[in-house]
Amino acid sequence: MRSYDQYCPVAMALDVVGDRWTLLILRELLVGERRFTDLRRALAGLAPNLLTDRLRELEAQGLVERRELPPPAARTVYAATADGRATAPVLQALARYGATRLGPPGAQRVRPSMAVFGMLVPYHRPDGQRLHARLDVDGETFDLVSDDGALSTRPRPDLQPDVVVTASAAGIVATRTGRRPFRSAIISGTAADRRRFAALFDLPVDSLRPRRSLTP
């Protein structure tokens, strides 16, 4: 691996995660375990041999580990270690910085995971109270649980959420980039909980109302 060879914490961090594609691989693994094919699908343009090299380097640095899932879904997956998950604040800061420079998607499909983890999660502002929001974004489900100053994003199908939000990925991006108010269908949740959800993720409070239809 190349090194900046400088006695500097920024240079040291870049020695580990500064290579092209490395932070995007970690972006995917912070969402959850991924198979090699999942990573290839999410990182279009990354050659398979380069992905293999990057994963090997991240394993050597202790940021990524391989796991074997038990039968009947026996397969190898990659997961972020505790050190890998420690890069989350860096990626969230980059997401906030990049969101201000992100143009309209045009003909590109906006991935639901990008909309949630790139346009909502980085803006989490805890208020010290618990709120469980379940998001249905273009048919994919995400659980966001804000509690005691932290945010959990792991699936919680066993819990009843306080708020259920249905929205399009493109709509979330349009809201965050300032091109239109938030449009959603709140299918459960009190007015107070809707306001809290908006405040927790820095969304326009007045526009977060129940709607019968969605516009992408």
- Phi-psi bin for 115: left (phi > 0), alpha (psi -120 to 50), beta? alpha
pLDDT at 194: 87
Query: What number is the average pLDDT over the span 190-200?
Result: 90
pLDDT, position 134: 96
- The mean per-residue pLDDT over the stretch 187-213 comes to 76
Q: How confident is the model at residue 135 (pLDDT cuts 50, 70, 90)?
A: very high
**Which of 115-124, 130-139, 170-179 shows the lowest mean pLDDT across its residues?**
170-179
Cβ–Cβ under 8 Å, residues 86 and 64: no
Coarse DSSP helix, strand, coil percentages of the chain, rounded to the nearest 5 percent? 40, 20, 45
CA distance 205 to 186: 13
Q: What angle do CA 187, 131, 155 make, to 5 degrees?
A: 80
Spell out the CATH class of 110-200.
Answer: alpha beta
CB-count burial class (<10 Å; 0-12, 13-18, 19+) for 135: buried
> What was the pLDDT predicted at 212?
47
Residues of the chain with pLDDT > 90, as a percent, come to: 71
Is residue 133 within 8 A of residue 152, CB to CB? The reply is no
**Tokens 């190349």 label which residue?**
2
> Would you place residue 213 in the very low, low, confident or very high pLDDT band (cuts 50, 70, 90)?
very low
pLDDT at 207 over 60: no
State the average pLDDT over residues 65-88: 92
Which sequence spans correspond to the domains of the chain?
Answer: 9-86, 110-200
**pLDDT single digits (tens) 155-193:** 999 999 999 999 899 989 988 888 777 766 677 888 899
* pLDDT in the model for residue 187: 73
Mean pLDDT, the chain, as a whole number? 90
pLDDT in tens, 13-40: 999 999 999 999 999 999 999 999 999 9
**More confident site: 214 or 206:** 206
**Candidate from 90-94, 109-113, 149-153, 209-213 with smallest mean pLDDT:** 209-213
Domain 9-86 has CATH 1.10.10.10: yes
For residues 83 and 63, is the Cβ–Cβ distance under 8 A?
A: yes
* Domains 9-86 and 110-200 fall in the same CATH topology: no
The string of pLDDT tens digits covering residues 94-116 is 999 999 899 888 778 899 999 99
